[in-house]
Amino acid sequence: MADLRTAHIEARLKRYAEEQGDPVAAVMAAFYARYPDAQANFCHHSPGNPAKLEAEMVGNTLYYMMTCFESPVETRIYFDTSVPQHRVALDVPPDWYRGFIEATIEVVEAATPASSRDEGAAWSDMRGALVGLVERNRFV
Ligand code: HEM
């Protein structure tokens, strides 16, 4: 059965896109304000075009925001691989991984108020789910 929370995630993202356009610049500004050292990592892994890698990671984050309720097992399996992989192979510590997800969520939430209590609750659940999946892999 479809999880109604997915519709709430998608609806707010759609309103954000209609009103604000592409979120990448705002997400990266919020993320780098908290983790300035991370900018060098994006430049290191994508020399000449860090903006491309930045946009890909925002896209990946949006994907898991939209699919975590419909595909919780797949999302968990993915994070169990990706969080350690980013830490070990890409020098991306779990704090950055978590902070990137939180920056993406907060940019949308700040610009696009929740239209209902249920929508706000779905966003809160989604943040808790994704942060929890990072935290369970913090020391893996
Ligand atoms: C926090 C800053 C982050 C940095 C610096 C970063 C960096 C990278 C790099 C360098 C790659 C390899 C790209 C390639 O080989 O073409 C990659 C792959 C990937 N990243 Fe990130 N990433 C970050 C956060 C995230 C987050 C928050 C997510 C998802 C929620 C994510 C999801 C992915 C996915 C799906 C891939 C491709 C497959 C894989 O290697 O797992 N990344 N990332």
Q: Determine whether the shortest distance from the Cβ of 100 to ligand 1 is under 6 A.
A: yes
Q: Determine whether the shortest distance from the Cβ of 104 to ligand 1 is under 6 A.
A: no
Q: Into how many domains does the chain fold?
A: 1
- Answer whether residue 88 is part of any domain: yes
- Give per-residue pLDDT as tens, 104-119: 999 999 999 999 999 9
- Answer whether residue 19 is part of any domain: yes
The average pLDDT across 48-61 equals 98
Q: Pocket of ligand 1, candidates 92, 95, 107: which has the most ligand atoms within 8 Å of its Cβ, to mutate? A: 92
- For the CA of 96, the nearest atom of ligand 1: 1
- Answer whether residue 125 is part of any domain: yes
In whole angstroms, what is the distance from residue 75 CA to residue 112 CA? 25
- Give per-residue pLDDT as tens, 23-43: 999 999 999 999 999 999 999
- Answer whether residue 123 is part of any domain: yes
In whole angstroms, what is the distance from residue 89 CA to residue 61 CA? 19
pLDDT score of 47:
94
- Answer whether residue 140 is part of any domain: no
CATH code, domain with 30? 1.10.490.10
* Residues of the domain holding 21: 4-135
- Answer whether residue 126 is part of any domain: yes
- Give per-residue pLDDT as tens, 68-115: 999 999 999 999 999 999 999 999 999 999 999 999 999 999 999 999
Ligand 1 centroid–CA 43 distance in Å is 13
CA torsion through residues 121, 126, 127, 131, sign? positive
- For the CA of 46, the nearest atom of ligand 1: 10
CA distances from 31 to 44, 50, 81, 114 (A): 17, 14, 23, 22
